[in-house]
Structure 1
Amino acid sequence: MIDDETRYRAVDSRDARFDGVFFTAVKSTGIYCRPSCPAVTPKRVNCTFYPTAAAAQGAGFRACRRCRPDSVPGSPEWNHRADLVGRAMRLIGDGVVDREGVAGLADRLGYSSRQLQRQLTAELGAGPIALARAQRAQAARLLLQTTELPVTEVAFAAGFASVRQFNDTVREVYDRTPSGLRAEAGGAGERGAGGRGRAAAAPAVPGALSLRLAYRGPIDTEHLLDFLALRAVPGVEEVVPGPRGVRTYRRTLALPHGYAIAEVDSLGTAARPDRGWLDCRLRLADLRDLTTAVHRLRALLDLDADPQAVAEQLGAGPLVGPAVAGRPGLRSPGHVDPHELAVRAVLGQQVTVAAARTLAGRLAARSGQPLPEPSGGLTVLFPSAGALAEAESGDLAMPVARQQALRGLCAALADGTVRLDPGVERERAAEQLLALRGIGPWTVGYLRMRALADPDVFLPGDAGVRHGLQRLGLPGDPKAAARISAAWAPWRSYAVHQLWASA
């Protein structure tokens, strides 16, 4: 928790670490900014601070056209918090309000709509409709400034229910008409470096977007891509080399309204790791999936993390401190599809990473949905839990016990007995998983760490953890490992990745 005086000092020093953590509204200008806005620092008496862009917009402030406060990383609180507000923010980010309304959001969280509205407003200064509206406004700006779609199509692709609602929101948030906002794409819109979305030219391919995924630096993209490349499922994912040391992670995405192909570049050798964004390209079968696709890629790459907070805790001790110093910005990757990850976790039980990858590739080839046309090495969407629950034994090349575990898990995911969506309670999900045959503590811990974005998971029985501890001269047995890990709370998931990297 930080107070307003600390917030003002962050604004005065233009500290980018606080971008997305809070927003500064300036009463004398009627605009709100990110803390690192390069404009002249306003007087303290004119500053009011808000936890979300939606709250600033609800108070009547417009987004600064210079620093683009809608284009910052998300607050690390919403990424990791396990309470109602944190779970609600993750579901809103995934587009649940646009698809299911406030009633659907409340139902997923197990609260009434009135209770949800009251708690979000009390803590964030904005309810679920206002939070979703701010997200739609940002998606609209991205589509206006990076595509040549007609304005009417932009309105519905961004999630607005009507063109009038779209026009009113854009005017209120950006103090511009939609056409005026589009005209800025070659001017002020280009200055929003580090934002969530920006492209230099309109794409030639329908549904194609070029954007930037903002993060708080530093970031170790080499570790990220090494981790993903080692586990890349043939036909579904690939990591390809490019010029100047840049590598590109590519994968297919199964989204609510259709499929997508996503590409994210590493920083390579020419860019500083704290530059503030990663280049990303999306090709969407349905542009209504834009917000969901971006949200899931951010979760995959852990872009809303606070690496300074992690480094302060892990780097302070003598055990992994040197490793943290040698790998600044190491992230704890999540996943774009919790159901896919759950299947892959079961495939990985008691086999090597390479063997699990081969098994997953066979499943994808036999049971996945083929793309309308291949894209490089990408040919298929990973099969759904429902499809795998009904797969023939011949398609599951694994021992009978693991086949039964996989079918049981997929059936539970398909019928909702087990939920792994962004709004689920982690403890409840863990209990549901452990109740399934063939699902043990390692699988549950791995899913909590990656599917449910839990920052404080340790895997004491994991072979990679054991080898990493032994490389550091520490005992690797599970009891000793669990005891050692207590000093790394609440960031033990990141300590696991440090140990894996050391091993």
Structure 2
Amino acid sequence: MVTDAGEMIGDDGRYEAVCSRDARFDGEFFFAVATTGIYCRPSCPATTPKRANVRFFPTAAAAQGSGFRACRRCRPDAVPGSAAWDTRADVVGRAMRLIADGVVDREGVSGLAARLGYSARQVQRQLNAEVGAGPTALARAQRAHTARILLQTTPMPVTDVAFAAGFASVRQFNDTVREIYAATPTGLRAARPRTPTRFGDVGAAGAAAGIPLRLPFRGPYAVEETFDVLAADLVSGVEEMTGLRSGRRYRRTLRLPHGVGIAEVREDGGDGWLVCHLCLQDLRDLTTATQRLRRLFDLDADPCTIAEQLGLDPALAQVVVARPGLRAPGTVDPHEFAVRVVAAGAAGLVARRYGQPLATARGGLTHLFPRVEDLADGSFDELAPPVRRTLRALARRLADGDLALDAGVDRAAAEKALRAVPGLGPHAAAYIRMRSLGDPDVLSTEDGAIRAGMSRLGVAAVDAERWRPWRTYAGLHLAAAARDRGKAFSTF
């Protein structure tokens, strides 16, 4: 029936997944019921509808565009994103990553098209053909989800919610909420869950206290290993880790399109989600902040498909089974991470000297990481001369636009441009491609831990071809196999 979570043989296979309420497929497709006018995630606990009444859609926006309303029980708008958009390097995959980052809301469809190097008509046509909805509809579905979160987690006035979620008018906001949720904004707020469910308890909090969120993921999640990676590379003043093992809290500052944010993510999350708390200077940044945290924690990955593919290699099978749900942490800011790779152990000094201080320190958080524009002419006296030259060259190219690192960039072209930066070697370029661009198919055989893992397991570089498109995760398992405690990443 199933080749992987994103590719199934026909609608009959999808219906089988719905009958089994298989949560692995949440976000990979949606199903709608013609007799009720409602669409759901595959794992919805409601009574399974008859096959003849079911239609399938690749995105929530496509279901909404066909006139179906979101199920209030399973909240299909809150599923993990499809892993396909992380693996695909074509224009549709790049467009989906940019839309998730809020580019359409900030720059319009023309801005999205310009970033992709296509006309707006071409982008519209390709998205409609692939995902059943154009960029405007996809962004609208995302705005509706943001509005629901604000209505059900803050006491913000409804009018403020409308503009904070990105709607152009209160009328547009009201019409969208009624169409998608079959309720008025006030009714949607009154209907918020009061007790925890298998899909998370949104709870309630004051706007001043921030916004509590559930960040959903599919399959197992190796949360300890992910927090170990983040703890090993903390930039003082920008990030901090508090609490004891198995109860740690990762906190960091965020530079967002409309203002400053503080994010806290807990290690001891729930069954199928991480617990997050966001404090935002401007609530219009909620969608962007959430998506960037999802990339940091690699929450849209499909660990079952990855494990199935890598487990076919006898050399990797045992180590893959030993670490279910191993993730590839990304970053909240591609430019920031590229600078961190070059500055290495001095990233904290660079942040404190060139970054923007917070108006009020929050515990150990004191600064926003500096923009590349602020680093392009930096003296970097605190760094060794070779690092100084490389960092200045990198910052200038990023600031001038000669080098692009964003959610929709062509990853191969970006790595080639990174290698052209004086002093930035192929291993650094590959590492930036992996973390900054969230590429799941990068393997640097220059990494000492990966080489040690390959030697221990008796595999050669030529074997890596059969690990596509999950070579990043293969590298994590190789590096883990080379360590006594099985940490996921080597320290760069």
| TM range, smaller chain | over 0.9
Q: Secondary structure at the match of 1:319?
A: helix
Aligned: 1:501 with 2:480? yes
One-letter amino acid of the counterpart of residue 304, structure 2: Q
Q: Secondary structure at the match of 2:208?
A: coil
Aligned: 1:424 with 2:420? no
- Alpha-carbon distance between aligned partners in 1 of 2:140 and 2:313, rounded to the nearest angstrom: 44
Cα distance, 1:215 vs. partner? 0.1
CA contact (8 A) 1:217 1:329 kept: yes
Structure 1 length-normalised TM: 0.92
CA contact (8 A) 1:68 1:192 kept: no
Give unpaired runs (5+ residues) of structure 2: 1-6, 484-492
- Alpha-carbon distance between aligned partners in 2 of 1:161 and 1:57, rounded to the nearest angstrom: 19
Q: What's the counterpart of residue 412 of structure 1?
A: 397
Cα distance, 1:57 vs. partner? 0.3
Q: What's the counterpart of residue 215 of structure 1?
A: 217
Q: What's the counterpart of residue 107 of structure 2?
A: 100
2:61 to 26, 50, 54: 54
One-letter amino acid of the counterpart of residue 375, structure 2: L
Structure 2 length-normalised TM: 0.94
- Alpha-carbon distance between aligned partners in 1 of 2:274 and 2:435, rounded to the nearest angstrom: 21
Per mean C-alpha deviation after superposition, the further-off stretch among 449-458 and 66-75 is 449-458
Aligned: 1:194 with 2:173? no
Identity %: 59
Aligned: 1:154 with 2:155? no
Cα distance, 1:447 vs. partner? 1.4
Q: Secondary structure at the match of 2:250?
A: strand
2:468 to 464, 481, 489: 489
CA contact (8 A) 2:74 2:199 kept: no
Q: What's the counterpart of residue 426 of structure 2?
A: 441
| Structure-to-structure mapping, 1:162-311, within 5 angstroms | 162-187=169-194, 190=195, 193-194=198-199, 199-203=202-206, 205=208, 208-242=210-244, 245-267=246-268, 275-311=271-307
- Alpha-carbon distance between aligned partners in 2 of 1:55 and 1:257, rounded to the nearest angstrom: 29
| Structure-to-structure mapping, 1:437-476, within 5 angstroms | 437-470=422-455, 472-474=456-458
Cα distance, 1:213 vs. partner? 0.2
Q: What's the counterpart of residue 4 of structure 2?
A: none
- Alpha-carbon distance between aligned partners in 2 of 1:201 and 1:142, rounded to the nearest angstrom: 10
Cα distance, 1:191 vs. partner? 5.6
One-letter amino acid of the counterpart of residue 86, structure 1: G
1:214-235 Cα deviation digits (max 9, x unpaired): 0002000000000000001111
1:393 and 1:238, CA in 2 relative to 1: closer, same or farther beyond 3 A?
closer
- Alpha-carbon distance between aligned partners in 1 of 2:288 and 2:174, rounded to the nearest angstrom: 22
- Alpha-carbon distance between aligned partners in 2 of 1:205 and 1:193, rounded to the nearest angstrom: 28
1:184 and 1:220, CA in 2 relative to 1: closer, same or farther beyond 3 A?
same
CA contact (8 A) 2:156 2:207 kept: no
1:5-29 Cα deviation digits (max 9, x unpaired): 1100000000000000000010010
Cα distance, 1:205 vs. partner? 2.1
Q: Secondary structure at the match of 1:185?
A: coil
Per mean C-alpha deviation after superposition, the further-off stretch among 20-29 and 482-491 is 482-491
Cα distance, 1:192 vs. partner? 5.5
- Alpha-carbon distance between aligned partners in 1 of 2:50 and 2:129, rounded to the nearest angstrom: 27
Aligned: 1:342 with 2:327? no
1:224 and 1:29, CA in 2 relative to 1: closer, same or farther beyond 3 A?
same
- Alpha-carbon distance between aligned partners in 2 of 1:141 and 1:92, rounded to the nearest angstrom: 18
CA contact (8 A) 2:152 2:188 kept: yes
CA contact (8 A) 1:16 1:35 kept: yes
Cα distance, 1:465 vs. partner? 1.2
Cα distance, 1:473 vs. partner? 4.6
Q: What's the counterpart of residue 376 of structure 2?
A: 389
CA contact (8 A) 1:364 1:382 kept: yes
- Alpha-carbon distance between aligned partners in 2 of 1:238 and 1:341, rounded to the nearest angstrom: 16
CA contact (8 A) 2:418 2:424 kept: yes
Aligned: 1:317 with 2:320? no
One-letter amino acid of the counterpart of residue 199, structure 1: V
Cα distance, 1:389 vs. partner? 1.2
CA contact (8 A) 1:194 1:213 kept: no
1:436 and 1:341, CA in 2 relative to 1: closer, same or farther beyond 3 A?
same
- Alpha-carbon distance between aligned partners in 1 of 2:286 and 2:215, rounded to the nearest angstrom: 13
Aligned: 1:364 with 2:351? yes
Cα distance, 1:435 vs. partner? 2.0
Cα distance, 1:433 vs. partner? 1.5
Q: Secondary structure at the match of 2:446?
A: coil
CA contact (8 A) 1:199 1:209 kept: no
Per mean C-alpha deviation after superposition, the further-off stretch among 78-87 and 98-107 is 78-87
Cα distance, 1:501 vs. partner? 2.3
- Alpha-carbon distance between aligned partners in 2 of 1:230 and 1:431, rounded to the nearest angstrom: 28
CA contact (8 A) 2:350 2:380 kept: no
- Alpha-carbon distance between aligned partners in 1 of 2:479 and 2:296, rounded to the nearest angstrom: 18
Q: What's the counterpart of residue 351 of structure 1?
A: none
| Structure-to-structure mapping, 1:79-158, within 5 angstroms | 79-158=86-165
Give unpaired runs (5+ residues) of structure 1: 349-355
One-letter amino acid of the counterpart of residue 227, structure 1: V
- Alpha-carbon distance between aligned partners in 2 of 1:389 and 1:152, rounded to the nearest angstrom: 41
- Alpha-carbon distance between aligned partners in 2 of 1:291 and 1:54, rounded to the nearest angstrom: 16
1:45 to 52, 60, 75: 52
Aligned residues: 475
Cα distance, 1:80 vs. partner? 2.2
CA contact (8 A) 1:31 1:61 kept: yes
1:216 and 1:389, CA in 2 relative to 1: closer, same or farther beyond 3 A?
same
- Alpha-carbon distance between aligned partners in 2 of 1:488 and 1:232, rounded to the nearest angstrom: 30
- Alpha-carbon distance between aligned partners in 1 of 2:24 and 2:100, rounded to the nearest angstrom: 21
Q: Secondary structure at the match of 2:284?
A: helix
Cα distance, 1:401 vs. partner? 2.2
One-letter amino acid of the counterpart of residue 470, structure 2: W
CA contact (8 A) 2:87 2:469 kept: no
Q: Secondary structure at the match of 1:333?
A: coil
- Alpha-carbon distance between aligned partners in 2 of 1:245 and 1:495, rounded to the nearest angstrom: 25
CA contact (8 A) 2:86 2:440 kept: no
